[in-house]
Structure 1
């Protein structure tokens, strides 16, 4: 979960968005967790910083953050039912090694365990923080999504050893081809378009607005989690969120 040496977003990106006072607190929590988890003097065995902050299944849930879930059935950068009881929002960068580890080791398992049965929806947010190639990869991923191949591009870009080869234009085109993008000319146009830049900027602004300072960062029904945590941390958070959603639905039904 690396932190960039010198990110250069627009100044407004760095201010927590005023969704509510709870979001300011959540932003501080997520930023602190990100810092502790990426501190340079952290020993290899001391991996508990973020997990400790988020260990209580009933703590650290912010309704304002839960409202950031778009639940748009036409969202090409999401998978899972729009009405799923749990939404995991992921803020990530294709040049981030920890993001790749999460994608390969944990996200794929979460898809198998929860997305298929309708419990979980995953919504991607492009959060490029490592410079020009990060931005280019984010726009390319969005462009692949316009042809319905975002998750295939995601898998290709996060494959072992890919980020070390860089994300120049030729490499991005090759990854799009590998992902099964049908119209590569359109892909190139879309990746260079103002629409791609606007979509990436919107995601990035949201990420900085909730206090994310490193990648990957997550929200699970309004609960912040920083870093490529273990499968156990994610299953605990998802199960707790599903239980809360079910209890809320039952309570509303009883009131009718």
Structure 2
């Protein structure tokens, strides 16, 4: 091979090397982007909260309403998310806004430690008048059970998204301010026969979501 041939071969090899470097960089970039997208704790979900008339901490509606509904729910429960995002608004419109029902949300955190921590975070948000908004964000960010989704980083990010006093919120989390309340909720639910979620007490009658409307109507008609 003469000198010109050698130069051409070297240049061709160099071009191939550069091409492989370019491909590698593109591939690495794609992996990094994909990695960011699939990390649950970094997921940001835009949520428009439904109106909750006469909201007070973890309840809504007229406290003296004829029908009292207690909802037992776990923030990691997919059926609870389905109820919250697809059905709750209808009940609020038909029964809570009209003054017929007082509705209270009770955490029943049986799926795992992430459920417990999410419940505590929701009550810390309630201290600043944002329980229901935080409730909506938790369900919107649900990503399977015990997958590491509900962690301190996500809790703080959601607090920021809701313009909470983050220092106060963090202190509430760090002190486990609502740990006992979350435990008490579990004990209360178990004492009333709750063994899963979502379940509802309608004037002391325990029903699942499929029988909720009928139970409310029956309670409204009762003397």
Asked whether the equivalents of residues 142 and 191 of structure 1 are also in contact (C-alpha less than 8 Å), the reply is: no
State the distance in 1 between where 2:55 and 2:176 align: 20
Q: CA RMSD in A?
A: 1.9
Distance 1:192 1:107 in 2: 31
Larger relative contact order (C-alpha < 8 A, sep ≥ 6)? 1
Query: Counterparts of 1:184-203 in structure 2 under 5 Å?
Result: 184-203=166-185
5+ long unaligned stretches in structure 1: 1-72, 248-256
Figure out how many residues of one structure are paired with residues of the other and give that number: 167
Counting only pairs closer than 5 Å after superposition, residues 32-71 of structure 1 correspond to structure 2 as: none
Distance 1:242 1:181 in 2: 39
Q: Which residue does the alignment assign to 1:80?
A: 61
Closer, same or farther in 2 for the Cα pair 1:74/1:154, shift >3 Å? closer
Q: Give the counterpart of 1:168 among 151, 164, 185.
A: 151
The answer to whether the 8 Å contact 2:125/2:164 transfers is: no
* Structure (1 or 2) with the greater helix fraction: 2
- Asked if 2 retains the 8 angstrom alpha-carbon contact of 1:147 and 1:181, the reply is no
Following superposition, the deviation at residue 222 of structure 1 comes to: 1.1
Corresponding residue of 1:129: 110
Q: Runs ≥4 in structure 1, deviation > 4 angstroms?
A: none
* Mapping for residues 74-223 of structure 1, pairs under 5 Å: 75-159=56-140, 162-164=142-144, 166-178=149-161, 180-223=162-205
Q: 2 CA distance for matches of 1:239 and 1:118?
A: 14
8 A Cα contact 2:120 2:176, kept in partner: no
Counterpart CA distance in 1 for 2:212 and 2:204 is 13
Higher Rg of the two aligned structures: 2
Q: Is the 8 A contact 2:108 2:182 kept in 1?
A: yes
Conservation of the 8 A alpha-carbon contact between 1:144 and 1:181: no
Change (3 A) 1:169 1:75: same
- For 1:218, what is the secondary structure of its paired residue? strand
TM-score by length of 2: 0.70
